[in-house]
Amino acid sequence: MSSQEQADGAAEPLATRVVLSFPADIGEHGRGRIRSDYYKKYLTKVHDAAAEGDEWDEFTDVGCCGSQMDVPLVVERVEGGSRIDLDTEIEYVEREACGINQGWSVQHDEPEALDD
């Protein structure tokens, strides 16, 4: 227990599940990246708490050349407390497209590459 938690008397309760939404214009490759175990672990390490309506401006690698794709995530629902750790389950739902930049889409199966 941290000194702040000791001073407060107890730790904030743990979130058992956090539901995040991602924009519909992320293609299959991007969806696979954010749904991976390593990415979910990354999210629990860079965010120590979540509340409904929080917007997380994240990114993911694209698997080559050090390139990355921005991924705007929105916290849709939090179950349990607000504190996040490795025991918190991360789930995803799709929301309306937002026109994310997919400049690297020619390398993968993103919608812009499929439309050509």
Residue recorded with tokens 């400049």: 103
How many alpha carbons lie under 13 Å from residue 46 in its C-beta half-sphere? 10
The mean pLDDT of 11-16, rounded to a whole number, is 92
How many alpha carbons lie under 13 Å from residue 107 in its C-beta half-sphere? 13
Q: What is the CATH number of the domain that holds 26?
A: 3.10.330.10
pLDDT in tens, 68-109: 778 899 999 999 999 999 999 999 999 998 877 654 553 545
How far is 31 from 102, CA to CA, in rounded Å?
13
Number of domains forming the structure of the chain: 1
116 part of a folded domain: no
1 part of a folded domain: no
Residue recorded with tokens 């990415």: 39
Task: Provide the pLDDT for residue 27.
Answer: 82
Range of the domain at 62: 13-102
CB atoms within 10 A of CB 11: 13
96 part of a folded domain: yes
51 part of a folded domain: yes
